[in-house]
Amino acid sequence: MYTLGELVESFQLYAVCEPCQRVVWVDVARIIRDEGAGYEIQRLRHRLFCSCCQTRTRAIRIVYVGTNAKASGFRYRRTASPLPDKD
């Protein structure tokens, strides 16, 4: 995948700020409307900026949600500590 148009039907994007651990859903449809379906993901990485801590970041998580986002019940979140062991 190299362009937003290639992933819009089955994937969601999340911008991740490593310094402050903020995760924000990226409105791919709006970017495609403004910039076109051929807009490269690499170009998007260079535009990311955290409005919370004022840091420029390039981290993007690409999450498969199925055709037409039918599996979009998934919510990306970070955990501060590992999950506890199951007994």
User: Torsion angle, CA of 27/29/31/36, rounded to 10 degrees?
Assistant: 160
- The token pair at 63 is 């999450």
Domain assignment present for 32: yes
- Domain range for 18 is 4-68
- Given a contact cutoff of 8 angstroms between Cβ atoms, the answer to whether 41 and 60 are in contact is yes
Domain assignment present for 19: yes
0.85 exceeded by pTM: no
- Given a contact cutoff of 8 angstroms between Cβ atoms, the answer to whether 22 and 11 are in contact is no
42-76 confidence digits (pLDDT tens): 999 999 999 899 988 888 998 888 876 555 555 55
2-33 confidence digits (pLDDT tens): 899 988 888 889 999 989 989 999 999 999 99
Domain assignment present for 77: no
Answer whether residue 81 shows pLDDT above 80.
no
Domain assignment present for 27: yes
Tally of structural domains, the chain: 1
Domain assignment present for 73: no
Domain assignment present for 82: no
Domain assignment present for 39: yes
